[in-house]
Structure 1
């Protein structure tokens, strides 16, 4: 009996290996004669501008074929093709993340949804953003939280900024539930881009379990919020209350929405905030110019008066700094798509069913498109249009991030108080690392000196 089981296992493994080999090499015999140049080498872990992309671009050009995520793939580091892909969502291309990522994000996630389901979820997201923006307390809450976090630094010599940034965005480790979510969320992020093996102990398996625990915690928070709102007619009118009032989403979709918001609205925004603080610490001239801009804005307001939308619109240099951090830091590096039909673009074709991987970071760091591309230079945005094809930090088309403006406001308001009330320096060696996702391995440790009285 044992020998028979072993034989079946060996046969199964042989069939699996044969399937992988066939899947890998069959594209070599594609009928398409205009395929981009390239090689079907085995999947490579690099997905940012590094040796892999530099080597392939130098050998084959900015568009080349490869074999990534177990699929034949056209990789694009080309500005025009990237823009073409983004503008033809659900027409010629469709979001197509590898199946293992669905296991982490969940099938109800707006990030992996396609077609009419994605349109419905995106419309809800836009409605939520507009409702939050229209809330008169929204900007006051951002301002108040930023001040509270910075006041807690007053007697400190050193802070771990990535933790502090999450507090600014309302996800600080101040209670048991928040600590649980933060711990599980970091596990979730580490497994999001990892080898998709569901074996106990692997980053992927831990991420799937962490996602399940986060979902359970979020569901419990939602149930508690409903109970409190029934007993108390006064509502908070925050994101969660607004989400709970949406009657076009199922309970599972609301939980997924909350998780998507953690990924897009909290983690990505806190990383952007950390990037800005890191780059400003390396650029004294940009920091000084930002201080002067915010001192001028504060000089036109009463001592304890809150910031408003008009103040945000006056933060021109600050917005240039944020744009440059988005370009140079490349928080969102690439997206996954698949071709819905045979596509002819310029001198090459993309076969139906092939994956396409537009690399945003390659365009953002292309010296032929951005002068001194490997330098942090905020003043470039005084003459460069942030809506141009060569700058897509929040994606594009129907999948452009709906909360991008909210993220910029949150970062700008925090910087307003930071640059006027603190000096800081970064520790040597604590630089952003781009693999498996962008993070500061030490959490961006800052030596701080308060000017608060």
Structure 2
């Protein structure tokens, strides 16, 4: 996918690379606004002269500009890992076609219905094994759950030996995305490349089997959607690169969204109580024998506000990088051809001039507020807006619903870290206790 993540996936991993090392020495001045620099200023990243934008309007212009003005920028090592046919790299009409196919598939009501049913079943099975006073590591549980759901969505692969193999290889692959690009046996980068080759072999076999049996009917997974395109533009290499890249949010950004939401809820009893009240009303519906649908979860307004506030505070995708392919002017700022630009979302999301009490977790701030505003860009924007926005929210909503209606918990001490990616240092351990159903019914 494009700018974010979700299943988008991610200019995020790359951008974190770009700014994390740099941020160690200037994060204090970048958040919320770089003191003495202004909201748009010059820097130097990856050996490239770079314009950093913490101005929402300038960043919006950059994100919405067509490929005749800006193209994605990635280090050469990253391009080698994600592949030259990845939607993260390609531009123009082909990028728009692939982005459109992915977006249409992820927005499909049929897909959302399947994901809702699968996730409800899988969560119930997993949570049924939790014992009172057991320590549960939310970040690991979320990664396991989301990866399983997304692999089925992308390639139609269910639980079993092949899924375990794929997850093991994928963890090696993701670990190499942020590493020194040295292709010598034993290095993390080399292991990442080898892991991708092994994954591609499995996915290629699945593609070939689907081609033999493809009837051009309903798309049950993203490979079906690509094969049913009919344009002749989508080669096997393009399908391979994009299917594997689309798994990144399943291992990283979506599980982290769930984990951070639970971290913030654990620290904010009033927010947690309000979330419980809203979700308990929905729980009554299922206890009365009605099957919950994806629309039920998405209609939980306060739950959606909690997710929005988690995205604002957590900044799972803190920035993206673009490269100017011609001279560009915006708001009296001149961006020379060949320079990189970095819209830095984190600074905007924590800007006290935009958000009152910006460092406070306050989901009520999103009541009647437009989440499509230029000052809120957790999924990127423009033609490379993450096509998995709704899917990410749905998955997080289902997980939160089952946790808050099924359990109470006490969070153990843990800390959020930002390098090399945003995550909880100890995987967010919580001590759980199962709720009494009779109390829920009362």
Shorter chain as denominator, the TM-score bin is: 0.7 to 0.9
TM-score under structure 2 length normalisation:
0.83
Residue 350 of structure 1 corresponds to 335
Residue 241 of structure 2 corresponds to 256
Residues 212/412 of structure 1: CA separation in 2 closer, same or farther (3 Å cut): same
- 8 Å CA contact retained: 2:219, 2:228: no
Residue 175 of structure 2 corresponds to 190
Q: Which sits farther off after the overlay, 94-103 or 198-207?
A: 198-207
User: C-alpha distance in 1, partners of 2:303/2:315?
Assistant: 18
Partner of 2:373, secondary structure, is coil
User: C-alpha distance in 1, partners of 2:219/2:71?
Assistant: 38
2:270 is the alignment partner of 1:294: no
Residue 437 of structure 1 corresponds to 421
- State how 1:40-189 maps to structure 2 within 5 Å: 45-47=21-23, 50-51=27-28, 53=30, 57-131=34-108, 133=110, 136-154=113-131, 157-171=134-148, 175-189=160-174
Structure 1 position 162, deviation (Å): 2.0
Spell out, residue by residue over 1:208-248, the C-alpha distance to the aligned partner (whole angstroms, 9 max, x if none).
22222222233344456667x68x9x999345555554444
Residue 282 of structure 1 corresponds to 267
Residue 216 of structure 1 corresponds to 201
User: C-alpha distance in 2, partners of 1:311/1:259?
Assistant: 31
Spell out, residue by residue over 1:44-80, the C-alpha distance to the aligned partner (whole angstroms, 9 max, x if none).
8135882463599213222111111121111112212
TM-score under structure 1 length normalisation:
0.81
User: C-alpha distance in 2, partners of 1:280/1:415?
Assistant: 10
Residue 26 of structure 1 corresponds to none
- 8 Å CA contact retained: 1:422, 1:449: yes
- 8 Å CA contact retained: 1:128, 1:243: no
Structure 1 position 206, deviation (Å): 2.7
Partner of 2:179, secondary structure, is coil
Partner of 2:52, secondary structure, is strand
Residues 325/149 of structure 1: CA separation in 2 closer, same or farther (3 Å cut): same
2:396 is the alignment partner of 1:411: yes
Residue 220 of structure 2 corresponds to 237
2:310 is the alignment partner of 1:325: yes
Residue 36 of structure 1 corresponds to none
Larger radius of gyration: 1
- 8 Å CA contact retained: 1:198, 1:205: yes
Structure 1 position 139, deviation (Å): 2.7
2:352 is the alignment partner of 1:370: no
Identify unmatched segments of 5+ residues in structure 1. Answer: 1-41
User: C-alpha distance in 2, partners of 1:104/1:91?
Assistant: 25
Structure 1 position 318, deviation (Å): 0.1
Residue 5 of structure 2 corresponds to none
User: C-alpha distance in 2, partners of 1:55/1:412?
Assistant: 29
User: C-alpha distance in 2, partners of 1:272/1:43?
Assistant: 20
Structure 1 position 195, deviation (Å): 3.2
User: Larger relative contact order (C-alpha < 8 A, sep ≥ 6)?
Assistant: 2
- 8 Å CA contact retained: 1:307, 1:413: no
Residues 43/385 of structure 1: CA separation in 2 closer, same or farther (3 Å cut): closer
User: C-alpha distance in 1, partners of 2:404/2:210?
Assistant: 36
Partner of 1:137, secondary structure, is helix
- 8 Å CA contact retained: 1:337, 1:357: yes
Residue 38 of structure 1 corresponds to none
How many positions carry a matched residue from both structures?
409
Identify unmatched segments of 5+ residues in structure 2. Answer: 1-17, 150-157, 438-442
